[in-house]
Amino acid sequence: MAKHFNILAGMAGAVALGVMAVTPAAAWEPTKPVDFVIMAGAGGGADQIARFLQSVAEKKDLTSRPLVPNNKGGGSGAEALIALNTTNDPDHTILVTLNSFFTTPLRQPDLGVDITTFTPVAMMGVDPFVLWVHKDSGITTFEQWLETVKAANGEYVMGGTGTGQEDSLVITFLKDAYGLDIKYIPYDGGGAVAKDLAGQQIMATVNNPAEAKGFYEAGDVVPLVAFSDERLPAFPDVPTIKEKGQDFSYYNQRAVVGAPGQSAEAAEYYQNLFKTIYDSEEWQGYMTSESLSPLWMSPDEQKEYWALQVERHKELLANMEE
Amino acid sequence: MEILELLSHGLFLAIQPMNIALIVVGVTLGLFIGAMPGLGSVNGVAILLPITFLVPPASAIIFLAAIYYGAMYGGAISSITLGIPGASTAVATTFDGRPLALKGRASLALVTAAIASFVGGTVSILLFTAFAPPLAHVALSFGPPEIFALMLLAFATFVGLGGDDIPKTVLSICLGLVFASVGFDQISGAPRLVFFGISGFLHGINFLVLAIGVYGIGEMLWTLDTTRGKITSTEARMTFAGIVADTRECFAKAWKGMSIGSFLGFFVGILPAAGATPGSLMSYGVAKMTGRDPDSYGRGNPDGVAAPEAANNSASTGAMLPMLTLGIPGSPTTAILLGGMVIWGLTPGPRLFTDQPEFVWGLIGSFYVSNFFALVINLSFIPLFIWMLRMPFTILAPMIFVLSVVGGYAATNDMHDVWLMLIFGISAFFLRKFDYPLAPAVLAIVLGPIAEPTLRQSLLLSSGDPSIFFTRPIAGTITVIAIILILLPLVGVIRRKLRGTNKASA
Amino acid sequence: MRLGEIVTAAVLAALSIYMMWKSTDLNIGYVAGKGPGGGAWPFWLSAIMLVCTIVIAFNWARRTSPPSRSTEPVLDADGRRMLLQVGGGIFVFVALINVISIYGAMALFLFYYLWFLGRHALWLALTISIATPIAFFFFFEALMRITLPKGMSFTDPVFNVLYDIIY
């Protein structure tokens, strides 16, 4: 065995020398394929974004080694966090995150994951949330919706991606702020939620614009209120919850982080790489078409943002448990 | 006829030289990816997605669709030649495909699989062309209670599949269903059954890990033990005349399975959340139930190869329907195709047919062309697979073990699952010795993750009232049929018992 | 066989009890207005498994199932040797993956099986055990972009060179 690799290595080495001579000795570059961990299963919103980022890197030939997508959605992303925490090659391991980056370690403290040890890389944007109803319900305003929910007396059914997930936190906020009684059905992904809203299996959802876009354009679903700081460019007529007098906004982060213990050189490499992707025409166009809000941050700002979000989610989760 | 005009335009687009080249490359690649245990259409489509940026969107999706088709054909190849289902959609193909191969009729099984896939694919594309938009609404009317009823029906068609030992069969089903619930409880959002606190269980027990363990490792050890390593090769020969004869035999013996699979597969396939696997399992079950000689199924009946193969191809095309018309993926593979469409700047959804007719009909046109090429390319590779089977068993066996280990890893990228697969394999070897049927466990681990959440979603909807499965018209009808099917064999058993005791007393 | 049958049933019963116990981490009851709790599905199905093992044990006592009547050994001498050689071989193969990479372990396993167990000619055994890992490497890493385990860091120089070739 050892022999066969030696022979092979010898042969290949000759070829490789030729290749290496051309590349100038530069700063740190990956020497192996980069483990591009995704905190969600194949096919979901987070997965789509990760694969988009990967394809931009590929198309523009930005990396000397490919980014290899690796879906680890198990346990609400716990699996991905553990994978990063225990990797023996932090310089070649990065993670695409969503808000379960904050909530999962809080909800499952025995994982032993401390996200402050992770390396900030890039904040690619934040995904806002919108409240949707089916057009046949006849509801067109948020006030009307509140009345309908109250009149339903606990029989109002909403769907979402699961207890403790982003949308359920927003629904919990609505329940507390307006004293609503809502039945919540968990699904395994935003796409399934959007489908059952269109099929009127459920009455309303809180979902990212990207997931509901197709049905919205066809007129099947109606947006009532956005949980963003300002009105969304794609839905200029939809008021924000702030205009309704609530000091609340909620976004899902679309960020890239490095494994704990990543070397400063490697971190800088990835920061530059994702800055290039962020500035690309493709990513800017994607953000517009999928209604993502830009929120670029420096690594230090990201660290601060994490601390802020951890505190915020502690509160939100505490409310939910009551 | 506006549709015909659009379709001919689509066909014209698909037979552009570059697109034809992409189809041929895609189908061939897909065939090998599908034939590799552990890799399926999901991997093929996901990995080749970035490459498609080099070509225009219409060509890109044609390329991906060709890979998808190729992989669907390829899944049957490992099921038949190695006895390992390469993907969950090909589980049912092993039931009769493997016995045929062991009888030296691998070529008949492979030809039947190829032809059935073609027929299934063609029927579903025709249904797709004619009824896509109205069928989308059928898909929307299936909520959690309907899907659960459908899973019940899928189980019901399999009641007869177990062995003669009833407690062992029931145990096997329950084991699969419990394994299916390992990892994470979607409804309460809490980790569940993380055995011994090992983090590898957080992502659950993947179907492939169990299937490769049982069929790749366990079954191979069992074969080595029972034959004392004396089987050297199967008596498989392959000639052109042989293919022609096989084709004739295939149509004579398997036309029924093919037609059941084609239609049933399509209708189950268009339902998001159900997909190709339940479709192929149900088709096998129905073919067996309605067969003239039900006992010959599972012992190498070509009809038992044709039904699931026609169904999984038909369902794969069907799964494209909710994706294109509603923007909802019916399977992980279509989910990735959907992502691809978003990247190319298309919005899948109710308006895609009107806004982007050229793209949609180009894609449908490419279905027809891909399906045809998949048949031709598959048939031409059959001699290669037969040649593989003729290798001495002492070469084939270690190769199968290597494929199993690599496949076990590639399914989830986790060494934990390779160990788990090895444990399953050794356990399966012993369980098999004591007459425990394991196919029910493998089926249960596929259907369980659909059945449990939909059951609980339904009960949440009805505030815990189980009558929801009877009061909704679609769910009610399916539930009643399922219950009748489950009770039928019981009646038979009781009647036989009664008669038996009568005889004994007489 | 007769002893094996009851031992297998006992092992499965122990597994069912473990899974039942593990399920009780979540609510195993029926929550009014909400349906079954998170642990109910695995708990009650494991309970059915336990009942099945009891019935199997009962059949064993009555000697109604074929394995409970059989006097043949579960594994005779040949069977034991096969399991040790083949099963043990796969075990070592898997154990070596994290040390000398999946490709190295694969080559060793193939060589062991072909040359030692299969008694094939040395040239044939060597050719297959060298060609297979190379074919796998190019199929997975270059074509499919799937990274397989590379073992401990001492294999890095070899793979770094290979990566330079394929990327």
Q: Measure Cα distances from B94 to B102, B272, B387 in Å.
A: 11, 25, 19
Partner A contacted by B148 (CB < 8 A)? no
Instruction: Look at C165 and A8 and tell me if their CB atoms are within 8 Å.
Output: no
- The C-alpha angle with vertex B134 and arms to B133 and B137, in degrees rounded to 5, equals 100
Q: Which of A4, A13, A20 sits opposite C107 (nearest CB)?
A: A4
Instruction: Look at B186 and A162 and tell me if their CB atoms are within 8 Å.
Output: yes
Q: Measure Cα distances from C105 to A105, C93, C123 in Å.
A: 36, 5, 19
Task: Kindly give, in sequence order, each residue whose CB lies less than 8 Å from that of residue A276, ignoring residues fewer than 6 positions away.
Answer: A60, A62
Per-residue pLDDT of chain B (506 residues; tens, 9 = 90+): 577 787 888 888 778 888 888 889 889 988 988 888 877 777 777 777 776 666 777 788 788 888 888 888 888 898 898 888 877 788 889 889 988 988 888 889 999 999 999 999 999 999 988 887 788 778 888 889 998 998 888 888 776 666 678 889 889 999 999 999 998 888 888 888 989 888 889 888 988 899 889 988 998 898 888 877 565 445 556 677 777 888 888 888 888 889 999 999 998 888 876 678 888 888 998 888 888 888 888 888 999 999 999 999 998 888 888 888 877 776 777 877 877 777 777 777 777 877 888 788 888 888 888 899 999 999 888 888 888 877 888 888 899 899 999 988 988 888 999 999 999 999 999 999 998 988 889 888 888 888 999 999 999 998 888 899 999 999 999 999 889 888 877 776 777 767 765 554 44
Please give, rounded to a whole number of angstroms, the shortest distance from the CA of A6 to a CA of chain C: 8
Q: How far apart are CA A55 and CA A61, in angstroms?
A: 9
Instruction: Look at B144 and A201 and tell me if their CB atoms are within 8 Å.
Output: yes
Give the closest residue to A76 by CA, choosing from A99, A96, A93. Answer: A99
Q: Which one of A106, A132, A158, A187 would you mutate to disrupt binding with B, by most B Cβ within 10 Å of its Cβ?
A: A187
Arithmetic mean of pLDDT, A74-91: 88
Per-residue model confidence (pLDDT) at position A7: 40
Which tokens belong to B212? 């490769």
Q: How far apart are CA B154 and CA A262, in angstroms?
A: 49
Instruction: Look at A76 and B189 and tell me if their CB atoms are within 8 Å.
Output: yes
pLDDT single digits (tens) A189-248: 777 788 889 889 999 999 988 888 878 888 889 999 999 999 999 899 999 999 999 999
Per-residue model confidence (pLDDT) at position A5: 40
Please give, rounded to a whole number of angstroms, the shortest distance from the CA of C83 to a CA of chain A: 25
Any bridge partners for residue A184, and if so which? A158
Per-residue model confidence (pLDDT) at position A135: 93
Per-residue model confidence (pLDDT) at position B53: 67
Instruction: Look at A58 and B53 and tell me if their CB atoms are within 8 Å.
Output: yes
- The interface residues of chain C toward chain A in range 52-81, judged by CB-CB distance below 8 A, are none
Place of tokens 């007393």: B505
**Residue B446 near residue B91, CB atoms below 8 Å:** yes
Instruction: Look at C79 and B225 and tell me if their CB atoms are within 8 Å.
Output: yes
Per-residue model confidence (pLDDT) at position B134: 80
CB-side neighbour CA atoms (13 Å) of B372: 9
Instruction: Look at B329 and A188 and tell me if their CB atoms are within 8 Å.
Output: no
Cβ neighbours around A95 below 10 Å, total: 27
What is the chain B residue with the closest CA to A43?
B335
Determine the 3-state secondary structure of A71 from DSSP.
Answer: strand
Partner A contacted by C157 (CB < 8 A)? yes
Per-residue model confidence (pLDDT) at position A1: 36
Per-residue model confidence (pLDDT) at position B42: 77
Q: Which of B33, B193, B405 sits opposite C94 (nearest CB)?
A: B405
Q: Which of C22, C46, C86 sits opposite B221 (nearest CB)?
A: C86
Please give, rounded to a whole number of angstroms, the shortest distance from the CA of B167 to a CA of chain C: 5
**Residue B120 near residue B309, CB atoms below 8 Å:** yes
Contacts of residue C110 in chain A, CB cutoff 8 Å?
A: none
Q: Which of A47, A79, A198 sits opposite B202 (nearest CB)?
A: A79
DSSP states of B250-290: HHHHHHHHHHHHHHHHHHHHTSTTT-HHHHHHHHHHHHHHH
What is the chain B residue with the closest CA to C16?
B175
Which tokens belong to B134? 């109205």
Q: What is the DSSP letter of A203?
A: S
Contacts of residue A43 in chain B, CB cutoff 8 Å?
A: 329, 332, 335-336, 338-339
Instruction: Look at C4 and B434 and tell me if their CB atoms are within 8 Å.
Output: yes
Q: How far apart are CA C28 and CA B241, in angstroms?
A: 61
β-strand A251-258 against A221-226: which pairing, if any?
Answer: unpaired
Instruction: Look at C147 and A35 and tell me if their CB atoms are within 8 Å.
Output: yes
**Residue B442 near residue B433, CB atoms below 8 Å:** no
Pairs across A and B, CB distance < 8 A: 152
More confident residue, C17 or B249: C17
Instruction: Look at A75 and B188 and tell me if their CB atoms are within 8 Å.
Output: no
- The C-alpha angle with vertex B110 and arms to B104 and B116, in degrees rounded to 5, equals 135
Cβ neighbours around B467 below 10 Å, total: 9
Please give, rounded to a whole number of angstroms, the shortest distance from the CA of B324 to a CA of chain C: 27
Q: Which one of B45, B55, B140, B456 would you mutate to disrupt binding with A, by most A Cβ within 10 Å of its Cβ?
A: B140
What is the chain A residue with the closest CA to C167?
A65
Please give, rounded to a whole number of angstroms, the shortest distance from the CA of C139 to a CA of chain A: 15
Which tokens belong to A302? 């990201």
The answer to whether residue C162 scores a pLDDT higher than 60 is: yes
Structural domains in chain A, sorted by start: 33-127+251-321 (3.40.190.150), 130-226 (3.40.190.10)
Task: Kindly give, in sequence order, each residue whose CB lies less than 8 Å from that of residue C17, ignoring residues fewer than 6 positions away.
Answer: C46, C50
pTM for the whole thing? 0.86
β-strand A93-97 against A34-38: which pairing, if any?
Answer: parallel
Instruction: Look at A213 and B42 and tell me if their CB atoms are within 8 Å.
Output: no
Instruction: Look at B183 and A75 and tell me if their CB atoms are within 8 Å.
Output: yes
Please give, rounded to a whole number of angstroms, the shortest distance from the CA of B467 to a CA of chain C: 12
Arithmetic mean of pLDDT, A148-164: 90
Q: Which one of A3, A4, A76 would you mutate to disrupt binding with C, by most C Cβ within 10 Å of its Cβ?
A: A4
Q: Which one of A196, A205, A290 would you mutate to disrupt binding with B, by most B Cβ within 10 Å of its Cβ?
A: A196
**Residue B175 near residue B210, CB atoms below 8 Å:** no
Per-residue model confidence (pLDDT) at position B235: 54
- The C-alpha angle with vertex A264 and arms to A263 and A267, in degrees rounded to 5, equals 90
The answer to whether residue A121 scores a pLDDT higher than 60 is: yes
Per-residue model confidence (pLDDT) at position B90: 86
Partner C contacted by A13 (CB < 8 A)? yes
Q: Phi and psi (nearest 5°) for A251?
A: -130, 155
Q: How far apart are CA B202 and CA A272, in angstroms?
A: 33
pLDDT band at A9 (very low <50, low <70, confident <90, very high): very low
Q: Which of C34, C89, C91 sits opposite B464 (nearest CB)?
A: C34
Touching A (3+ Cβ pairs <8 A), the chains are: B, C
The answer to whether residue A183 scores a pLDDT higher than 60 is: yes
Q: Which of B53, B142, B335 sits opposite A42 (nearest CB)?
A: B335
Q: How far apart are CA A200 and CA C82, in angstroms?
A: 59
Please give, rounded to a whole number of angstroms, the shortest distance from the CA of A81 to a CA of chain B: 11
Judging by beta carbons within 10 Å of its beta carbon (0-12, 13-18, 19+), is residue B134 exposed, middle or buried? exposed
Q: How far apart are CA A239 and CA A223, in angstroms?
A: 9
Helix (H) / strand (E) containing A127 = strand A119-128
Q: How far apart are CA C101 and CA C147, in angstroms?
A: 11
Which tokens belong to A159? 């769907």
Give the closest residue to A128 by CA, choosing from A211, A186, A237, A27. Answer: A211
Instruction: Look at C56 and B168 and tell me if their CB atoms are within 8 Å.
Output: yes
Q: Phi and psi (nearest 5°) for A256?
A: -115, 130
Q: Which of C91, C110, C144 sits opposite B402 (nearest CB)?
A: C110
Instruction: Look at B433 and C4 and tell me if their CB atoms are within 8 Å.
Output: yes
Per-residue model confidence (pLDDT) at position B236: 56
Instruction: Look at C130 and A15 and tell me if their CB atoms are within 8 Å.
Output: no
Instruction: Look at B349 and A199 and tell me if their CB atoms are within 8 Å.
Output: no
- ipTM of predicted assembly, 2 dp: 0.94
Which tokens belong to C6? 């009851």
Helix (H) / strand (E) containing C71 = none
Task: Kindly give, in sequence order, each residue whose CB lies less than 8 Å from that of residue C80, ignoring residues fewer than 6 positions away.
Answer: none
Instruction: Look at A4 and C158 and tell me if their CB atoms are within 8 Å.
Output: no
Per-residue model confidence (pLDDT) at position B237: 60
Which tokens belong to A285? 């166009």
Instruction: Look at A58 and B457 and tell me if their CB atoms are within 8 Å.
Output: no
pLDDT single digits (tens) A14-43: 444 444 444 444 578 998 899 999 988 776
pLDDT single digits (tens) C19-67: 999 999 888 888 877 889 889 999 999 999 999 999 999 999 998 888 8
- Number of residues written out for chain B: 506
Which tokens belong to B400? 């199968």
The answer to whether residue A118 scores a pLDDT higher than 90 is: yes
Q: How far apart are CA B152 and CA B262, in angstroms?
A: 21
Q: Which of C4, C52, C82 sits opposite B167 (nearest CB)?
A: C52
Contacts of residue B459 in chain C, CB cutoff 8 Å?
A: 34-36
Cβ neighbours around A138 below 10 Å, total: 10
Which tokens belong to B286? 């129905």
Contacts of residue C108 in chain A, CB cutoff 8 Å?
A: 1
Instruction: Look at C104 and A8 and tell me if their CB atoms are within 8 Å.
Output: no
**Residue B314 near residue B262, CB atoms below 8 Å:** yes
Q: How far apart are CA B19 and CA B361, in angstroms?
A: 14
Touching B (3+ Cβ pairs <8 A), the chains are: A, C
Instruction: Look at A64 and C167 and tell me if their CB atoms are within 8 Å.
Output: yes
Instruction: Look at A9 and C134 and tell me if their CB atoms are within 8 Å.
Output: no
Per-residue model confidence (pLDDT) at position B131: 83
